[in-house]
């Protein structure tokens, strides 16, 4: 009998309708068998740990990522897999963060949630939960089928650090444009083994320090000098993510070049990420990105913004010097980029 630890952080999946207040409220997820009786037939030994109190995913912070990572570390040898129930709004950030925090992971960590509460008639919560548990317990040749941090949602299993939420209304809330799905749930579970990380025999290493001295600046037509300067040179910022046009382009007006140059000279790391939902940065391909290359801006290749942010926070938390951070950032650490 496979043993699975369910970590309930909060989110829509754990809500039930309160007839008195006419609102959705969190319920004790240890009552899971009352809401999803089908789970009893899966032949799994389940243990539930809940955040006290459960939180809306919009309130998710790095200390909560650390709480999840520590729970996995503490119980790593007791369980065959882990399912993290989480609100969908920031799920991709948490999945990306955990992928970096949990080094040498050899067991499944599956994040899931729902667009409708578990008690609703048309809910997607039951299928998402049941299939996530099945994936977390699945083995091939005596080894876990998916020994990495993933998101399961609406019949698709995605690599966590390749995923972004793109729709607030459809059950198909997530997408992984730059990387294939790891598994598809139909009549049978179909795993795409060639795209899944291989299990490792190395010991799990957990990092819980995530430095948040990071800023994100989205470039847009009409951006002003004052606005760009206020973000790029804001006090206490050690790294900046530039969300640029297309393949990594920005305006190349003299004042833009000057701000980027001064930011780099101030010892701040600048990362170039495309605003596009898919594709990659090809820095230096166009004249409008050559000045970034010359200023020492590093390419984020095909990273999602969520992965770029959490990867920077992870590396900054290691207290590496800037050269080491730049070197490590441009390496594929957990399958998060193609470079």
Residues 252 and 228: beta-carbon distance below 8 Å: no
Tokens at residue 316, please?
Answer: 């900054």
Residues 272, 240: Cα–Cα separation, whole Å: 9
How many whole angstroms separate alpha carbon 48 and alpha carbon 112?
Answer: 15
Collapsing DSSP to helix, strand or coil, 298 comes out as: strand
- Counting beta carbons within 10 angstroms of the beta carbon of residue 297, is it exposed (0 to 12), middle (13 to 18) or buried (19 or more)? buried
- Annotated catalytic, 123? no
3-state secondary structure of 87: coil
Is the separation of the CB atoms in 81 and 137 below 8 Å?
Answer: yes
Contact (CB, 8 A) for 264 and 239: no
In b/e form, how buried is each residue of 213-226, taking b as 16+ CB within 10 angstroms?
ebbbbeeeeeeeee
Give the Cα separation of 304 and 147 in Å (integer): 21
**Following DSSP, what letter does each residue of 190-208 receive, concatenated?**
EE-GGGSPPP--SPPEE--
Q: Which of 12, 244, 250, 304 is catalytic?
A: 12
229-254 burial, b for 16+ CB within 10 Å, e for fewer? eebbeeeebbbbbbbbbebbbbbeee
Closest to 243 (Cα-Cα) out of 265, 270, 263, 262: 270
Active site residues: 12
């Amino acid at each position: 009998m496979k043993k699975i630890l369910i970590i309930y952080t909060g989110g829509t999946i754990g809500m039930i309708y309160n007839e008195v207040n006419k609102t959705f409220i969190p319920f004790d997820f240890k009552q899971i068998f009352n809401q999803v009786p089908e789970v009893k037939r899966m032949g799994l030994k389940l243990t539930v740990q809940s955040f006290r109190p459960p939180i809306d995913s919009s309130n998710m912070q790095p200390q909560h990522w650390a709480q999840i990572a520590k729970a996995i570390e503490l119980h790593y040898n007791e369980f065959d897999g882990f399912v993290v129930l989480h609100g969908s709004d920031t799920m991709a950030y948490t999945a990306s963060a955990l992928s970096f925090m949990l080094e040498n992971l050899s067991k499944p960590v599956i994040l899931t949630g729902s667009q409708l509460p578990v008690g609703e008639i048309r809910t997607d919560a039951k299928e998402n939960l049941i299939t996530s548990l099945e994936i977390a317990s699945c083995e091939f040749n005596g080894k876990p089928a998916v020994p990495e941090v993933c998101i399961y949602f609406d019949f698709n299993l995605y690599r966590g650090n390749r995923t972004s939420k793109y729709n607030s209304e459809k059950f198909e809330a997530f997408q992984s444009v730059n990387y294939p799905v790891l598994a598809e749930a139909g009549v049978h579970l179909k795993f795409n083994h060639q795209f899944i990380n291989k299990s490792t025999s190395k010991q799990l290493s957990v990092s819980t320090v995530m430095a948040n001295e990071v800023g994100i600046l989205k470039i847009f037509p009409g951006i002003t000098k004052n606005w760009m300067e206020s973000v790029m040179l804001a006090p206490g910022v050690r790294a900046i993510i530039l969300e640029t046009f297309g393949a990594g382009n920005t305006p190349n007006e003299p004042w833009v070049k000057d701000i980027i140059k001064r930011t780099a000279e101030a010892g701040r790391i600048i990362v170039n990420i495309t605003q596009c939902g898919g594709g990659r940065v090809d820095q230096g391909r166009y004249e409008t990105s050559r000045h970034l290359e010359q200023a020492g801006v590093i390419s984020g290749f095909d990273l999602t913004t969520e992965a770029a942010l959490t990867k920077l926070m992870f590396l900054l938390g290691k207290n590496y010097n800037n050269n080491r951070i730049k070197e490590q950032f441009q390496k594929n650490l957990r399958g998060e980029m193609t470079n």
